[in-house]
């Protein structure tokens, strides 16, 4: 009986693709004439998903990287790495973990490579995005949701 339940579950990658990408470098060429700039970088990361048809989910991993020096933007990268995943036979909680953690983990290396490559092609030194623990981020988001719901329930 357990084998029958397992056989009904299906998780597969149908397609991985770049949905949207933007690279801006408003301070060029002046930024290349300064040899000693030490930019600070801000990273913003989020993921979302939508069911495009029964059992098929598009998962979007959106990453924004902004490098600044002296309060001026050196470069700004905005990327949406997407994947179409077949997810069949999972409960709501399992589905949430799959699209909120597993799928972004699959998409991240593609996004990281694209970002690093384009920043380098923009004339800047190698940029390496550090690994991200999507499992921990998913658990944290679930805890925040639960706390928000508990707070809303207390107000009523």
For position 151, which CATH number holds? Answer: 3.10.420.10
Mean pLDDT of 83-96: 94
Mean pLDDT of 128-148: 88
Sign of the alpha-carbon torsion through 148, 43, 21, 16: negative
The per-residue pLDDT for 116 is 96
Of the pLDDT bands very low, low, confident and very high (cuts 50, 70, 90), residue 146 is confident
Domain hosting residue 76, numbered range: 2-155
* Domain tally, the chain: 1
Mean pLDDT of 24-46: 89
Give the Cα separation of 156 and 55 in Å (integer): 36
User: CB of 21 within 8 A of CB of 114?
Assistant: yes
Mean pLDDT of 31-49: 89
Give the Cα separation of 120 and 58 in Å (integer): 29
Of the pLDDT bands very low, low, confident and very high (cuts 50, 70, 90), residue 15 is very high
User: CB of 64 within 8 A of CB of 43?
Assistant: yes
Residue of higher predicted confidence among 65 and 92: 65
Give the Cα separation of 42 and 68 in Å (integer): 8
Residue of higher predicted confidence among 62 and 147: 62
pLDDT above 70 for 4:
no
The per-residue pLDDT for 6 is 53
């Amino acid at each position: 009986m357990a084998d029958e339940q397992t056989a009904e579950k299906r998780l597969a990658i149908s397609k991985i693709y770049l949905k949207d990408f933007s690279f801006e470098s408003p301070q060029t060429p002046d930024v290349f004439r300064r040899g000693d700039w030490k930019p600070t970088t801000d990273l913003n990361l989020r993921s979302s998903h939508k069911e495009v048809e029964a059992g098929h989910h598009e998962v979007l991993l959106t990453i924004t990287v902004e490098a600044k020096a002296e309060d001026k933007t050196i470069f700004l990268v905005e990327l949406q790495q997407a994947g179409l995943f077949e997810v069949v036979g999972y409960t709501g909680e399992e589905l949430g973990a799959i699209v909120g953690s597993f799928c972004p983990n699959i998409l991240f290396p593609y996004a990281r490579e694209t970002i690093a490559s384009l920043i380098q092609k923009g004339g800047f030194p190698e940029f390496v995005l550090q690994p991200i623990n999507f499992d921990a981020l998913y658990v944290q988001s679930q805890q925040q949701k639960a706390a928000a719901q508990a707070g809303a329930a207390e107000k009523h």
